[in-house]
Structure 1
Amino acid sequence: MGRVLFKIQKKSEQAMPYSLTDLDAMTLEAAQALPFEDRDRLLDLIIAAGRGQSTDVVSYRTGLYSDYFEEDLTRMLKVKAIKVLCRGTTSSGFDGVPVGENDQEQYRAAFRHVKTHLDAGNTSFSRVVTLIVFLTNMDNWSLLNEVYREFIPVPPCRAVIGTTGLAQKPLAIEIVECIAYRVAE
């Protein structure tokens, strides 16, 4: 595995490079004693290294995603990573009424709601490692991908499942599960 480096600027020190190889060589205590900013940047490297594709063949793929996420629990423990779960998110507003006049607007509303949850959990879409989505109209695959790209900079592994209906009509989307990570203070 190659060394993936980044620079950490300390107030009174020169930049220090850290890599996953460096993290692997550290004891649990030494890694957990690193400043928050260092552990936070290492988490980004752990997530990037965990994303993978089982094959280079893309003949059947039409969306952006990675095939799998390999959760490295040892590395996650070393940087004090915390799992943040968002489940059952739809496009409904606080009044229970779906937001949006069409499916694409509902997709955006659902992703905005997930963003609100991720923000509250001190994480972001860049740290999402898996996503499961139910759609009532699979013919809107390209619309979903368009909205998906607006919110998610690095595609996690995901599943999009067609369904004949959701909890209430006229809901068009439910983000059934979204798993992200953050670093404990």
Structure 2
Amino acid sequence: KEFRTGDFNEQVIPSGYLSPEFDYIALGHYHKKTEVTKNAFYSGSTEHLSFKEAGEEKGFLEIDTSSNEVRFIPLKVRGMEDLGVINCDSMNPDEITGEVVKRLRNAGTEGKILRVILKGIGRSTYKGLDFHSIRKEASNALHFELSYELKEMEQELAGRGSIGSLVEEWKEYISKVPVETEREEIEKLALKYLSEVSQ
């Protein structure tokens, strides 16, 4: 099994390097408390660092090298809760606002890190939300994230628009860059890749 966080240029060490001759091997960077071998552990992070970790117990490891006992010491950390997905397809702005406020109220916001995801919401519907009421309800939270996923048709249209503008940006950029040789070939190759991305 591999323990990755998804960071760019992340390094993975083969488990064969974790020699049983060591009393204890402290592994880092992976945020979840995990026993890899009998003498190698990830202690995990002492705080929730992403919503993937919502609900996970956080703490540190106490190691007794004379007895090889490893004990997890839990910490009382600020709460992180993912309050779920609201399917917005058939809802109007007032209904969505009411549902967000209800979820915040039921969770209790004091000092917490919270998130609600709005799925399948149209741009005009999103703009019609009562953000003042939502912010007021979330005012005691340490952090509140209101994420949204556009309706599929609007995502497609937005994607087409962004690729089109990217092509124009590239043409404008390359026209101003001093290229000594093969300008035409560079332009053609770049436009080929951009058109493939848009398909």
- TM-score when normalising by structure 2: 0.30
Query: Is the radius of gyration larger for structure 1 or structure 2?
Result: 2
TM-score (norm 1): 0.32
